[in-house]
C-alpha cells in the first residue's frame, strides 16, 4: 500500500505542535513503520497567524475544524483541541460520519461521549482511537485492549495525574503546605491557573472511567465514579504517613466485586517502598492485574508535548496499516451497561484524631471503634505541645460504612477537637 495516509490536524497547541514535529522530523521512519507515507494535508486552530514554532505553510488552513473533517483530502482527523463538547465533539462526529478515522487525546470528550462516538465509528467502519487520552505517553490503552486481551482483568490501579503527584511529592520533600506548593507548581507550569480540574481529581477520574471500560467491557460511566481530590490532604497527614512507612497518592482504582464495578479516584496511603509509593513528580504509573498474566506495571510521562504526540502517532500508524479495532476493545453494542458498586470494598484505614490531652480520652475512641467492629492495628500518640494531642490509628480491614458511623460518633465527643481524618490504605 503506497497511498499516503492524509491527516487533518484540528488543534495546534501543545499536542498539535508535537504531532507536527514528529511528522516533519521522522517522515522516513514513519513511512517505513506505517507501510506508507503519513502526510498532514490540512490544519485548523483559532488564530491563523500565531507563530507556533513549526512550519505550517505546506498545509491547507481551515478556520473551522468541522470543515477540516469534511475535506476530501483528509483520511484521518487528529483531534487535539480539547473540551467535552463544542468543536471537539462536532469535529469528531463529522469526521466519523464522513468515513474518516479519528485519533484523539481528549479524555473529557471520550469519558462523556465515548460510547456514542464508538457506536458511530463502528457503524461507519472507521477507527476511533484515544491512546493519548489516558496517561499521556504510556501505551496503556493498547496494553489493555490488545496485549492483555486474553486476560480477565481483575483490577487496574494507577497514579494518573502528574500535577497531583508533583504537589504531593513536593509537600513531602519540602515540608511546605498545599497552597504554597500549588502556587509553585503554577509558576513552573505544572498546574493550570485554574487547577480545579487536576487537583479536584476530575482529570484523573476521566482517565479512570476510560480504563474501566477497557478493563471490564462496560460502557464508559464517568458519572458513577467516586471522586475526591487532593485539596484537603494536609502536610500533617503526609508527614505522619511517612513516619508510618507510607506515602499519600491520588490513586485511581477500578475493580470488580460480585459483578459490580467499583471505581474510585481518591487520596490513599500506599507503602512508601512499593512501586506506586516511589513514583515522584509528574510521572504516571498504571498497574494492571489479569488472571493469566498476573501483574503488569507501566510507568512514564503522563503528559507533555512529546509523550502525548508519541501516543497519538502510535495510533496513527496502526490506522495506516488498516487496523480498525472496536473502540473499547469490544464492539460498542456488546459493552454491558455499567453496574456501579454501591459500597467500597473493605480496606484498612489511616485515622488521625485531635483529642484533648486528658485521661481516658484515647480509651473512649478505641471503644467507639471496637463497638463498630473496627480493630486497631497500630496506634501512636504524636508529640505535642498545646492545642490537643494528635493520635494516629491504623485499622485492620473494615467496611467504610462501619468506619463512617464510628467516626461520626467520635466527632461528637467533647474530647474530639477536630473532624477526624480517615484515609484509605490501598493494598498495592
Ligand atoms: N498538553 C498535554 O500534555 C496533554 C496530555 C494528554 C492529553 N491532552 C489533551 O490533548 C488535547 C489538547 O491539549 P493541548 O494541551 O494541546 O491544548 P492547547 O495547547 O490548549 O491547544 C488547543 C488547540 O486547539 C485549538 N482550538 C481550540 N478551539 C478551537 C476551535 N474552536 N477551532 C479550531 N481550533 C481550536 C487552539 O487554537 P489556538 O492555538 O489558535 O488558540 C489550540 O491550538 C486536550 O484534549 C487535552 O486534554 C493534552
Nearest one of 70, 99, 98, 55 to 10, comparing CA atoms? 70
The residue whose CB lies within 8 Å of the most ligand 1 atoms, and thus the one to mutate among 14, 52, 61, is 14
Phi, psi (deg, nearest 5) at residue 254: -135, 130
pLDDT score recorded for residue 258: 85
Whether residue 58 is contained in a domain is answered as: yes
> Which region among 19-23, 342-346, 391-395 has the lowest average model confidence (pLDDT)?
342-346
User: 3-state secondary structure string, 98-156?
Assistant: CCCEEEECCHHHHHHHHHHHHHHHHHCCCCEECHHHCCCCCCHHHHHHHHCCCCCEEEE
Confidence band, pLDDT 50/70/90 cuts, at residue 83:
very high
Whether residue 159 is contained in a domain is answered as: yes
Whether residue 294 is contained in a domain is answered as: yes
Q: How far does residue 13's CA lie from ligand 1's centre (Å)?
A: 5
Indicate whether 114 and 164 sit together in one domain: no
The residue whose C-alpha atom lies closest to atom 44 belonging to ligand 1 is 82
Q: How many CB atoms lie within 10 A of CB 152?
A: 12
Indicate whether 294 and 154 sit together in one domain: yes
The residue whose C-alpha atom lies closest to atom 21 belonging to ligand 1 is 13
Whether residue 139 is contained in a domain is answered as: no
Task: Convert the pLDDT of each residue in 226-282 to its tens digit.
Answer: 999 999 999 999 999 999 999 999 999 999 988 899 999 999 999 999 999 999 988
Query: What is the average per-residue pLDDT within 7-33?
Result: 98
Query: Which residues have any ligand 1 atom within 6 Å of their CB?
Result: 11-16, 44-47, 50, 65, 80-82, 87, 105-107, 132, 136, 303-304, 308
Indicate whether 262 and 159 sit together in one domain: yes
Q: How far does residue 65's CA lie from ligand 1's centre (Å)?
A: 12
Contact 155, 251 (CB under 8 A): no
Nearest one of 350, 286, 330 to 156, comparing CA atoms? 286
Residue 235 CA, chain-centre distance (Å), reads 23
Query: Which among 133, 164, 179 is the end of a domain?
Result: 133
Whether residue 86 is contained in a domain is answered as: yes
CATH number of the domain encompassing residue 398 = 3.30.70.260
The domain tally of the chain equals 3
Residue-range definition of the domain harbouring residue 18: 5-133
C-alpha cell at position 414: 467533647
Query: Which among 81, 111, 133 is the end of a domain?
Result: 133
Whether residue 339 is contained in a domain is answered as: no
Residue 84 CB contacts under 8 Å (≥ 6 apart), including other chains: 108, 109, 111, 112, 113
Identify the active-site residue in 89, 93, 207, 249: 207
Task: Convert the pLDDT of each residue in 163-191 to its tens digit.
Answer: 999 999 999 999 999 999 999 999 988 88
Indicate whether 108 and 129 sit together in one domain: yes
Handedness of CA 174, 175, 180, 185 (dihedral sign): positive
Indicate whether 159 and 239 sit together in one domain: yes
Indicate whether 203 and 127 sit together in one domain: no
Query: What is the average per-residue pLDDT within 23-30?
Result: 98
Indicate whether 76 and 118 sit together in one domain: yes
Buried b (16+ CB within 10 A) or exposed e, 45-76: beeeeeeeebebeebeebeebbebbbbeebbb
The residue whose C-alpha atom lies closest to atom 31 belonging to ligand 1 is 87
Task: Convert the pLDDT of each residue in 121-172 to its tens digit.
Answer: 999 999 999 999 999 999 999 999 999 999 999 999 999 999 999 999 999 9
The residue whose CB lies within 8 Å of the most ligand 1 atoms, and thus the one to mutate among 80, 110, 284, is 80
CATH number of the domain encompassing residue 94 = 3.40.50.720
Indicate whether 32 and 96 sit together in one domain: yes
Indicate whether 250 and 282 sit together in one domain: yes
CATH number of the domain encompassing residue 261 = 3.30.360.10
Confidence band, pLDDT 50/70/90 cuts, at residue 1:
low
Whether residue 343 is contained in a domain is answered as: no
What distance in Å separates the CA atoms of residue 94 and residue 113, rounded to the nearest whole number? Answer: 14
Query: Which among 104, 133, 162 is the end of a domain?
Result: 133
Mean pLDDT of the chain: 96
Whether residue 243 is contained in a domain is answered as: yes
Q: What percent of the chain has pLDDT over 70?
A: 100
Indicate whether 170 and 296 sit together in one domain: yes
Indicate whether 85 and 162 sit together in one domain: no
Indicate whether 290 and 419 sit together in one domain: no
Whether residue 120 has pLDDT greater than 90: yes
Q: Is 207 a catalytic residue?
A: yes
Amino acid at each position: 500500500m503506497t497511498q499516503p495516509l492524509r491527516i487533518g490536524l484540528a488543534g495546534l497547541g501543545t499536542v498539535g505542535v508535537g504531532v507536527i514535529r514528529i511528522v516533519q522530523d521522522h517522515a522516513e521512519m514513519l513511512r517505513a513503520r506505517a507501510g506508507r507515507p503519513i502526510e498532514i494535508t490540512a490544519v485548523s486552530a483559532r488564530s491563523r497567524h500565531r507563530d507556533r514554532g513549526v512550519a505550517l505553510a505546506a498545509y491547507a488552513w481551515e478556520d473551522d475544524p468541522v470543515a477540516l473533517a469534511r475535506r476530501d483530502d483528509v483520511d484521518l482527523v487528529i483531534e487535539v483541541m480539547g473540551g467535552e463538547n463544542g468543536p471537539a465533539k462536532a469535529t469528531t462526529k463529522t469526521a466519523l460520519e464522513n468515513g474518516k478515522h479519528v485519533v484523539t487525546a481528549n479524555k473529557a470528550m471520550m469519558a462523556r461521549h465515548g460510547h456514542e462516538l464508538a457506536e458511530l465509528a463502528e457503524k461507519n467502519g472507521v477507527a476511533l482511537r484515544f491512546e493519548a487520552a489516558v496517561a499521556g505517553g504510556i501505551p496503556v490503552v493498547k496494553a489493555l485492549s490488545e496485549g492483555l486481551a486474553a486476560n480477565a482483568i481483575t483490577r487496574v490501579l494507577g497514579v494518573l495525574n502528574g500535577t497531583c503527584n508533583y504537589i504531593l511529592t513536593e509537600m513531602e520533600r519540602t515540608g511546605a503546605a498545599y497552597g504554597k506548593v500549588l502556587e509553585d507548581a503554577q509558576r513552573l507550569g505544572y498546574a493550570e491557573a485554574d487547577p480545579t480540574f487536576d487537583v479536584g481529581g476530575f482529570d484523573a477520574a476521566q482517565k479512570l472511567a476510560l480504563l474501566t471500560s477497557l478493563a471490564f467491557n462496560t460502557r464508559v460511566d464517568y458519572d458513577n465514579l467516586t471522586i475526591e481530590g487532593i485539596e484537603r490532604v494536609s502536610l500533617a497527614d503526609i508527614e505522619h504517613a511517612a513516619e508510618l512507612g507510607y506515602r499519600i497518592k491520588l490513586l485511581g482504582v477500578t475493580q470488580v466485586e460480585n459483578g459490580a464495578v467499583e471505581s474510585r479516584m481518591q487520596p490513599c496511603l500506599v507503602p512508601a517502598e512499593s512501586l506506586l509509593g516511589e513514583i515522584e513528580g509528574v510521572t504516571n504509573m498504571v498497574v494492571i492485574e489479569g488472571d493469566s498474566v498476573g501483574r503488569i506495571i507501566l510507568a512514564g510521562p503522563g503528559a507533555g508535548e512529546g509523550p502525548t504526540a508519541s501516543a497519538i502517532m502510535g495510533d496513527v500508524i496502526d490506522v495506516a496499516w488498516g487496523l480498525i479495532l472496536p473502540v473499547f476493545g469490544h464492539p460498542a453494542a456488546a459493552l454491558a451497561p455499567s453496574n456501579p458498586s454501591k459500597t467500597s470494598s473493605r480496606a484498612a484505614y489511616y485515622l488521625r484524631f485531635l483529642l484533648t490531652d486528658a485521661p481516658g480520652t484515647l480509651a473512649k475512641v478505641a471503644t467507639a471503634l471496637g463497638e463498630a467492629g473496627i480493630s486497631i492495628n497500630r496506634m501512636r500518640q504524636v508529640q505535642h505541645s498545646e492545642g490537643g494531642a494528635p493520635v494516629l490509628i491504623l485499622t485492620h480491614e473494615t467496611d467504610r460504612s462501619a468506619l463512617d458511623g464510628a467516626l461520626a460518633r467520635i466527632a461528637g465527643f467533647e474530647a474530639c477537637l477536630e473532624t477526624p481524618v480517615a484515609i484509605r490504605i490501598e493494598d498495592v
